[in-house]
């Protein structure tokens, strides 16, 4: 603990007291913010982990199917088959404020160009059934993948903010507030000491006059 | 309105094209970096990138971590997962909580 470098005067004492009050209030607020952020973060990160595990597993399956498809078909044919997608995905991102962290809220619009219900953008004559499998599997994963994107981004942003808040809370708790308290105590002592020395001096003078 | 993109090697990401997602195939580090940066500027909200490619450009990816958009999300490629995505989650937990509680 280091005492702040200030003059021990009444004015400084008042100043420091005010600062201590602000610091204590700020510390309490930040601590509350940190607790709430942490609670939400833990909820979110658990979801994130679960989602990622699922997505990774399912994606791997889809890739396997696609690999087989690309082995069966010629590469030109494959590229041609997927070149003109029937579906378009548009993404709308809104920001949500969670304890002063701006978290994206994503909503998706998936639109099929024609309404005949098939998701495959190619005819069935020249493509293999493995490709169908791969595409339909990917199609099914999409919502999860998009949700993962939203959750993972939110987690990243919140982790950053939690770290920042924690540093602030710690700085206030272990540095600013003890320093202020110690300095206030020092100034009080000094002022009291001055007062006592004035009184003794006066008594001494009075004694001398009386004699 | 934002768009969605996938970056990766051709064999892994070509299938995404059928779903209406923009696919960008890259091979080397420089190309990847350029692609990520241009996509981020041009209104892409989510960029999926395969772990094999993401491994080459960790600094570029971490630069976008602090921004709300784009969200750069790692996905496994057709050679399987390298667990980088999972590690990133664990790193987030460690950063926020101090220890890995999961």
- In-domain check, residue B38: yes
CA distance B70 to chain A (A): 9
Which chain B residues are Cβ-neighbours of A157 within 8 angstroms?
A: 66, 68
Q: d(Cα A26, Cα A5) in Å, to the nearest integer?
A: 23
Which chain B residues are Cβ-neighbours of A62 within 8 angstroms?
A: 15
* Span B12-29, average pLDDT: 84
- In-domain check, residue B102: no
Which chain A residues are Cβ-neighbours of B84 within 8 angstroms?
A: none
Instruction: Write the CATH number for B73.
Output: 3.40.50.10580
Give yes or no for B42 touching A (CB within 8 A): no
CA distance A156 to chain B (A): 6
CB contact under 8 A, A148 and B20: no
- In-domain check, residue B55: yes
Structure tokens that stand for A7 in this block: 């003059």
- The pTM for the full model equals 0.83
CB contact under 8 A, A120 and B18: yes
For A59, residues 6+ apart whose C-beta sits below 8 A from its C-beta are A141, A145, B75, B76
Low-confidence ranges of chain A (pLDDT < 50): none
Rounded to 10°, the helix A129-171/A75-83 angle is 70
CB contact under 8 A, A82 and B15: yes
**Helix ranges, chain A (H):** 10-72, 75-83, 129-171, 177-210
Tally of structural domains, chain B: 1
What confidence tens digit (pLDDT) does each residue in B48-88 have? 998 888 888 889 888 888 888 888 999 888 787 888 888 88
- In-domain check, residue B23: yes
Q: d(Cα A72, Cα B17) in Å, to the nearest integer?
A: 19
The answer to whether the Cα torsion of A133, A127, A124, A90 is positive or negative is: positive
Q: Is the peptide bond before B70 cis (omega within 30 degrees of 0)?
A: yes
What confidence tens digit (pLDDT) does each residue in B21-46 have? 888 988 888 989 999 999 989 888 88
Q: What is the pLDDT of residue A1?
A: 65
Q: What is the pLDDT of residue A115?
A: 59
Size of interface A-B (CB pairs under 8 A): 142
Give residue B85's domain range: 3-97
**Which of A38, A44, A46, A85 is the mutation pick for testing B, counting most B CBs within 10 A?**
A85
For A19, residues 6+ apart whose C-beta sits below 8 A from its C-beta are A180
- In-domain check, residue B59: yes
ipTM of the complex: 0.88
Q: What is the pLDDT of residue B3?
A: 86
According to DSSP, the residues that pair with A97 across neighbouring strands are: A102
Q: What is the pLDDT of residue B21?
A: 85
Give yes or no for B63 touching A (CB within 8 A): no
- In-domain check, residue B36: yes
Q: What is the pLDDT of residue A114?
A: 62
């Amino acid at each position: 603990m280091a005492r702040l470098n200030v003059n021990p005067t009444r004015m400084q004492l008042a100043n420091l007291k005010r600062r201590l009050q602000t610091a204590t209030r700020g510390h309490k607020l930040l601590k509350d913010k940190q607790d709430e952020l942490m609670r939400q973060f833990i909820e979110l990160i658990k979801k994130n982990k679960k989602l990622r595990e699922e997505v990774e597993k399912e994606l791997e399956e889809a890739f396997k199917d696609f690999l087989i498809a690309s082995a069966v078909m010629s590469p030109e044919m494959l590229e041609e088959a997927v070149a003109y997608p029937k579906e378009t995905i548009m993404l709308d991102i809104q920001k949500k404020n969670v304890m002063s962290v701006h978290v994206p809220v994503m909503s998706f619009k998936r639109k099929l160009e024609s309404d005949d219900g098939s998701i495959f953008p190619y005819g069935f004559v020249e493509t293999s059934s493995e490709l169908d499998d791969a595409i339909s599997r990917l199609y099914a994963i999409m919502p999860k993948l998009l949700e993962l994107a939203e959750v993972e981004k939110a987690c990243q942003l919140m982790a950053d903010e939690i770290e920042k808040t924690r540093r602030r809370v710690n700085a206030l708790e272990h540095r600013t507030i003890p320093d202020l308290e110690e300095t206030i105590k020092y100034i009080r002592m000094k002022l009291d000491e001055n007062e006592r020395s004035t009184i003794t001096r006066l008594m001494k003078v009075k004694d001398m006059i009386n004699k | 309105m934002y768009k969605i993109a996938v970056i990766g090697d051709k064999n892994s990401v070509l299938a995404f094209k059928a779903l209406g997602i923009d696919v960008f195939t890259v091979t080397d580090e420089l190309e990847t970096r350029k692609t990520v940066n241009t996509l981020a500027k041009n209104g892409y909200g989510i960029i999926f990138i395969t772990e094999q490619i993401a491994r080459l450009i960790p600094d570029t990816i971490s630069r976008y971590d602090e921004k709300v958009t784009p969200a750069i999300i790692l996905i496994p490629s057709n050679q399987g997962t390298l667990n980088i995505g999972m590690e990133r989650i664990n790193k987030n937990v460690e950063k926020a909580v101090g220890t890995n509680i999961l």
